[in-house]
């Protein structure tokens, strides 16, 4: 089900971008592999103009709280944190696909189709992110340390509707995770 959805989404994305004057060839080229970051947030609600303080107070509350936690570390995290702390994080928050095999030189292009900011951060080993209550006891991996105040982390951020291109990957196995929701993990194998 999720696989099918992803494929349809990618096709739609390709057509959409091909219609614009710039990025068409690049996005639809076989040398680009797409990854989709998914979450359970409604981007429209999240971005509602009624929001207070710029982070969706007019929205559902749920995603609003999670977003604030990502930036401020201080808000109640509700269901998401509850599930994460029990070791059963919400599977709706995910990178698709879970594994990708690409030729060297391929651009891995990550689009965020949820309503939340994520990061697509290469790590030596999977582990916790920088929002400790979401880590299920795993220590923060060094690559995520400092959160968005660390420019190396900030540059891997993918906000709702935006795209992050990862280029120059060496041959071998690469691990990527979200530094906010650390159960969002995937492997890219470069041939």
The least CB distance from residue 157 to Cu ion, in Å, is: 10
The least CB distance from residue 181 to Cu ion, in Å, is: 4
| Count, residues near Cu ion per rule CB under 5 A | 5
Cα dihedral 166→167→173→175 (10° resolution) = -20
| Binding characters for Cu ion, 101-120, by CB under 5 A (x = yes) | -----------------x--
Determine the Cα–Cα distance for residues 144 and 7; give it in Å rounded to an integer. Answer: 30
Which parts of the chain fold into alpha helices (H)? 2-18, 24-28, 43-46, 62-72, 78-85, 151-154
- Whose Cβ is closer to Cu ion: residue 153's or residue 180's? 180
- Whose Cβ is closer to Cu ion: residue 34's or residue 160's? 160
Determine the Cα–Cα distance for residues 79 and 63; give it in Å rounded to an integer. Answer: 10
Subset of residues 47 to 106 that bind Cu ion, contact rule: CB under 5 A = none
- Whose Cβ is closer to Cu ion: residue 17's or residue 71's? 71
Contact assessment for residue 80 and residue 129, using Cβ atoms and an 8 Å cutoff: no
The least CB distance from residue 18 to Cu ion, in Å, is: 28
Q: Applying CB under 5 A, which of residues 70, 178, 186, 188 lies at the interface with Cu ion?
A: 178
| Binding characters for Cu ion, 128-167, by CB under 5 A (x = yes) | ----------------------------------------
Quick one: which of 158, 40, 140 has its CA closest to 166?
158
Determine the Cα–Cα distance for residues 42 and 114; give it in Å rounded to an integer. Answer: 7
Q: How many CA atoms lie within 13 A of 140 on its CB side?
A: 14
Q: Which stretch binds Cu ion (CB under 5 A): 62-70, 153-161, 165-173, 174-182?
A: 174-182
The least CB distance from residue 20 to Cu ion, in Å, is: 27
What is 50-84 written as a DSSP string? T-STTTTTTS-SHHHHHHHHHHHS-S--HHHHHHH
The least CB distance from residue 138 to Cu ion, in Å, is: 15
> Is residue 180 within the footprint of Cu ion (CB under 5 A)?
yes
The contact set with Cu ion (CB under 5 A) reads 118, 178, 180-181, 184
């Amino acid at each position: 089900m999720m696989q099918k959805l992803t494929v349809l989404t990618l096709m739609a994305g390709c057509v959409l971008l091909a219609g614009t004057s710039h990025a068409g060839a690049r996005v639809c080229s076989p040398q680009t592999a797409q990854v989709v970051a998914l979450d359970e947030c409604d981007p429209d609600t999240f971005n509602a103009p009624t929001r207070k303080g710029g982070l969706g107070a007019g929205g559902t509350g749920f995603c609003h709280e999670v977003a604030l936690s990502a930036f401020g570390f201080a808000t109640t995290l509700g269901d998401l944190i509850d599930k994460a702390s029990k070791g059963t994080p919400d599977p709706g928050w995910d990178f698709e696909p879970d594994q990708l095999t690409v030729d060297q030189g391929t651009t891995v292009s990550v689009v965020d189709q949820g309503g939340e900011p994520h990061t697509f951060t290469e790590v030596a080993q999977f582990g916790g992110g920088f929002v400790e209550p979401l880590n299920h006891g795993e220590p923060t991996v060094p690559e995520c340390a400092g959160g968005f105040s660390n420019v190396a982390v900030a540059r891997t951020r993918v906000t709702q509707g935006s795209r992050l291109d990862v280029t120059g990957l060496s041959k071998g196995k690469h691990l990527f995770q979200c530094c906010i929701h650390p159960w969002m993990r995937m492997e890219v194998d470069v041939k």
